[in-house]
Amino acid sequence: MKTIIEPFKIKTVEPIYFTTESERETKLKDAGNNLFGLKGKDVIIDLLTDSGTSAMSAQQWAGILNGDESYAGSESFYRFEAIIKKIMGFKHVIPTHQGRAAEKILFSIVGGPDTIIPNNTHFDTTRANIEFSGAKAVDLLNKDGKNPSLIADFKGNMDTELLEAFLKENHEKVPLVMLTITNNSGGGQPVSMQNIKEVRAICKKYNKPMFLDACRFAENAYFIKIREKGFENKSILEICQEMFSYADGMTMSAKKDALVNIGGFLALNDDTLAMESRNVLVVTEGFPTYGGLAGRDLEAIAIGLEEILDEAYLQYRIRTISYLGEKLTEAGVPILLPTGGHAVYIDAASFCKHIPAEEFPGQAIACALYLKGGIRSCEIGSVMFGKKDENGKHIAPDLELVRLAFPRRVYTQSHIDYVAEVILEVFEEKEKLKGYKITQEPPFLRHFTASFEEIA
Ligand code: F0G
């Protein structure tokens, strides 16, 4: 059959509250024109993030009741540890309350002044944790990944020539190399098995551990299966096992591909680093068999990690994203191509050619989508990553994007059709969109709490 259906039935539902355009105008103004400031109930379709927004399965909810809340030695921890060992194969598994807590532990140990951590593209919390430790974060994305309209299979790949040159020059300062699968900040683009292997070989040559930022590992594995030669007949589990076999450790936000609302972990092979990590863990998160989580959370993660390996689910998941991508592309809306694993990214610079980077074209589109149809998206461009030089002049990042990230198992095809309709209406009137200026901003991660004003 041509139609790929949702491979699940809906047992529990949650109402969507509808607002009018004039109500949304007031709500957005009250939120300082920052979509992070809106109340969830004032959003019709929430595509702010795919993180912690999954619908759990009946099995996971049953697992919540079955959670063992023992402070030490919880049965749920052993189930959590066993499935991670089965898929990822690391010797030590350290639970944390979410992905950034795993990053915080790792970089507070290996980071610090005079160290540099390369990645294909650091996610913002990874970069923030590295910089907070006093270290430097460097992105070494391949050339294709920087071209938003180029169709290529693995635009998340690390540039291995750059990595080799970088390590040659800086190897004394590099405690480890990270690789983010899929590459969220670069458009949810996958990394090939070939690239993982090459990065591994370079790390070996310079005697550096390789760590995967593996929030969306199953989506990455599915792309390898359908796009990389030699993997067509392998199961998702086999592909995952191979991907992780090349790494020395990983950080994970379970809020993505473990299909839960909270959780994460750090997993690694090195005994000394594991001991040091657990030392930080007991001070900042909790005892090593629960980390920052309840037993029931560990149980739900263990079940989610089994469910995410289902190929029918992954096929539906990736198809949902490309379905919206195709509708937009057909209508001429510029998006990052090809669509990645968890989100559609509108190319805001091409969408709003009349709004310069320093007037935040992505913010203009994100606000317009909310006003027009109650859709919440996320600006990933000059608001999130823009900097100022010593003269106060705006330095724009490579791309101005608006991310429409899809919660897992939450929305149906008609929701997606509605999203497409709203985007197309905003696109028709794109010349009317105006830029924004920031009226107030915090020193770190400004996109969460800054306030904006439309430029008249
Ligand atoms: N690494 C990547 C690649 C991520 O996408 C995220 C979170 C994290 C690490 C941190 O994990 O949120 O559990 O602490 N990404 C979310 C997003 C927030 O919307 O893309 P966390």
Per-residue pLDDT averaged across 207-235, rounded?
A: 98
Does the C-beta of 133 come closer than 6 Å to ligand 1?
no
Per-residue pLDDT averaged across 53-72, rounded?
A: 97
Q: What's the confidence (pLDDT) of residue 449?
A: 95
Q: What's the confidence (pLDDT) of residue 187?
A: 86
Judge whether 301 and 78 are in contact, CB under 8 Å: no
Q: Distance between CA atoms of 250 and 215, rounded to whole angstroms?
A: 9
Question: Which residue's CA is the closest to the ligand 1 atom numbered 2?
Answer: 123
Q: What's the confidence (pLDDT) of residue 376?
A: 98
pLDDT level of residue 204 (50, 70, 90 thresholds): very high
Q: Distance between CA atoms of 407 and 321, rounded to whole angstroms?
A: 11
Q: Distance between CA atoms of 103 and 109, rounded to whole angstroms?
A: 10
Q: How far is the CA of 302 from the centre of ligand 1 (A)?
A: 19
Q: What's the confidence (pLDDT) of residue 388?
A: 87
Range with the poorest average pLDDT among 3-7, 17-21, 206-210, 254-258: 3-7
Confidence check: pLDDT of 416 > 80: yes
pLDDT level of residue 132 (50, 70, 90 thresholds): very high
pLDDT level of residue 379 (50, 70, 90 thresholds): very high
Does the C-beta of 255 come closer than 6 Å to ligand 1?
yes
Confidence check: pLDDT of 276 > 90: yes
Does the C-beta of 125 come closer than 6 Å to ligand 1?
yes
Q: Hey, which of 36, 117, 181, 184 would you mutate to test ligand 1's pocket, going by the most ligand atoms within 8 Å of its Cβ?
A: 184
Does the C-beta of 122 come closer than 6 Å to ligand 1?
no
Does the C-beta of 99 come closer than 6 Å to ligand 1?
yes
Three-state secondary-structure class, residue 206: coil
Q: How far is the CA of 123 from the centre of ligand 1 (A)?
A: 7
Atom of ligand 1 nearest to the CA of 98: 13
Atom of ligand 1 nearest to the CA of 50: 19
Could you give the percent of the chain with pLDDT greater than 90? 94
Does the C-beta of 377 come closer than 6 Å to ligand 1?
no
Per-residue pLDDT averaged across 250-277, rounded?
A: 98
Range with the poorest average pLDDT among 22-36, 240-254, 442-456: 442-456
Could you identify the residue written with the tokens 């590099």? Answer: 174
pTM of the entire predicted model? 0.96
pLDDT level of residue 399 (50, 70, 90 thresholds): confident
Average pLDDT, the chain: 96
Q: How far is the CA of 211 from the centre of ligand 1 (A)?
A: 16
Confidence check: pLDDT of 60 > 80: yes
Q: What's the confidence (pLDDT) of residue 443?
A: 84
Judge whether 7 and 312 are in contact, CB under 8 Å: yes
Q: What's the confidence (pLDDT) of residue 318?
A: 97
Q: What's the confidence (pLDDT) of residue 380?
A: 93
Does the C-beta of 380 come closer than 6 Å to ligand 1?
no
Q: Distance between CA atoms of 314 and 223, rounded to whole angstroms?
A: 9
Q: Which of 381, 373, 376, 400 is nearest to 148 (CA)?
A: 400
Q: Distance between CA atoms of 80 and 398, rounded to whole angstroms?
A: 39
Does the C-beta of 180 come closer than 6 Å to ligand 1?
yes
Does the C-beta of 264 come closer than 6 Å to ligand 1?
yes
Q: How far is the CA of 286 from the centre of ligand 1 (A)?
A: 21
Confidence check: pLDDT of 328 > 90: yes
Tell me the pairing of strands 210-213 and 177-180: parallel
Q: What's the confidence (pLDDT) of residue 56?
A: 98
Q: Which of 374, 368, 299 is nearest to 41 (CA)?
A: 374
Does the C-beta of 100 come closer than 6 Å to ligand 1?
yes
Question: Which residue's CA is the closest to the ligand 1 atom numbered 5?
Answer: 184
Q: Distance between CA atoms of 332 and 330, rounded to whole angstroms?
A: 5
**Fold for domain 21-50+310-454?**
Aspartate Aminotransferase, domain 1 (3.90.1150)
Per-residue pLDDT averaged across 379-388, rounded?
A: 92
Structure tokens at 150: 């180029």
Q: Distance between CA atoms of 117 and 176, rounded to whole angstroms?
A: 6
Confidence check: pLDDT of 250 > 90: yes
pLDDT digits (tens, 9 = 90+) for 148-175: 889 999 999 999 999 999 999 999 999 9
CA neighbours closer than 13 Å in the CB half-sphere of residue 77: 21
Which range is most confident: 30-39, 119-128, 144-153, 396-405? 30-39
Question: Which residue's CA is the closest to the ligand 1 atom numbered 8?
Answer: 99
Q: What is the dihedral of CA 110, 113, 116, 122, to 10 degrees?
A: 80
Range with the poorest average pLDDT among 189-198, 326-335, 388-397, 429-438: 388-397
Q: What's the confidence (pLDDT) of residue 444?
A: 76
Q: How far is the CA of 455 from the centre of ligand 1 (A)?
A: 31
Question: Which residue's CA is the closest to the ligand 1 atom numbered 19?
Answer: 49
Q: What's the confidence (pLDDT) of residue 398?
A: 83
Judge whether 290 and 69 are in contact, CB under 8 Å: no
Q: What's the confidence (pLDDT) of residue 149?
A: 87
Confidence check: pLDDT of 320 > 80: yes
Confidence check: pLDDT of 302 > 80: yes
Burial of 52 (0-12, 13-18, 19+ CB in 10 A): middle
Q: Give every CB contact of residue 101 below 8 A, 6+ residues apart in sequence.
A: 264, 284, 285, 291, 292
Q: What's the confidence (pLDDT) of residue 445?
A: 83
Atom of ligand 1 nearest to the CA of 180: 3
> Backbone phi, then psi, for 201, in 5-degree steps?
-65, -40
Q: CA 328, 334, 339, 340 torsion: positive or negative?
A: negative
Q: What's the confidence (pLDDT) of residue 124?
A: 87
Q: How far is the CA of 231 from the centre of ligand 1 (A)?
A: 27
Q: How far is the CA of 332 from the centre of ligand 1 (A)?
A: 30
Q: What's the confidence (pLDDT) of residue 202?
A: 98
**Fold for domain 58-307?**
Aspartate Aminotransferase; domain 2 (3.40.640)
DSSP of 334-389: -B-SS--SSEEEEEHHHHTTTS-GGG-HHHHHHHHHHHHH-EE-EEESHHHH-EE-
Q: Could you state, in order of their start, the residue ranges of all structural domains in the chain?
A: 21-50+310-454, 58-307
Q: Hey, which of 106, 119, 125, 448 would you mutate to test ligand 1's pocket, going by the most ligand atoms within 8 Å of its Cβ?
A: 125
pLDDT digits (tens, 9 = 90+) for 362-371: 999 999 999 9
